[in-house]
Amino acid sequence: MVVMSRVPGEPLRGEPLGDQQLKALAAAASDLYAAVPADVLAGVPVRPGRQHQLIAQIRAWVPQARSRVSGEVGEAMDRGLDWLTRSGMERAGRPDVPMVFGPGDGNLANYLWDGTRVRVVDFEDSGLSDRPFELAEITEHVASWVGPPLDVEAFLDLFDLNDAERARLPECRRLLALVWLLLLSFDDPLHPRNPPGTAERQAARLSELLN
């Protein structure tokens, strides 16, 4: 039986996060990653939108997306695509890192602050994943920086990643940042979903991750 209930709290998206909220966000994410016992997790399907699906989507989007942009956005897109080709991520198998339960959508609107702790909603894209990929989902989501920015370094410092996870995290962040740059390139200038200059800001973010 599935029971739905109202979850108290205010979305973290668009809000400046203090130290208490940042720690609560990290704690909520960590609790989720460890929520499913290992023997059960082994039978959980891989979540949608994982590495190879995203790369296939990038390749499908490129012909249309690249023709829509120029200047710093086009340059960052070209750099990102060149990195992707050289990264080996398209040919890689399952990453050699611990598998976890991943909620999927990194939108901070899905993380609710109730004054004491952070609660999580929206598990539509949840499934088998790994911590570096899930953390990149949060840090690179447009919701984490288009308003008051998430303190990414402070947030990531709250996770005790092993060597393999630390090595994978920058690659995941670059991949998700590239996905977001392509997504933002499709924004209709007559009916924009994001503030003016968002694609240019994302281009700068991706370029910084590629440096």
Whether the per-residue pLDDT at 6 is higher than 90: the answer is no
Whether the per-residue pLDDT at 152 is higher than 70: the answer is yes
Whether the per-residue pLDDT at 31 is higher than 70: the answer is yes
Q: Residues in the chain, how many?
A: 211
Helix (H) or strand (E) holding 38: helix 38-41
Whether the per-residue pLDDT at 94 is higher than 90: the answer is no
Please tell me the predicted confidence (pLDDT) of residue 93.
84
Q: Where are the domains of the chain?
A: 10-210
Please tell me the predicted confidence (pLDDT) of residue 86.
96
More confident residue, 3 or 99: 99
Lookup: tokens for 179: 């996905």
Please tell me the predicted confidence (pLDDT) of residue 1.
58
Task: Give, in degrees to the nearest 5, the angle at Cα 30 between 25 and 35.
Answer: 125
Provide mean pLDDT across the span 138-152. 97
Please tell me the predicted confidence (pLDDT) of residue 9.
86
Lookup: tokens for 183: 């997504």
CATH 3.90.1200.10 fits 10-210, yes or no: yes
Please tell me the predicted confidence (pLDDT) of residue 92.
85
More confident residue, 93 or 148: 148
| Tens-place pLDDT, residues 158-200 | 999 999 999 999 999 999 999 999 999 998 888 888 888 999 9
pTM: 0.95
Enumerate residues 6+ apart whose C-beta is below 8 A from 182: 58, 61, 62, 65, 77
Whether the per-residue pLDDT at 117 is higher than 80: the answer is yes
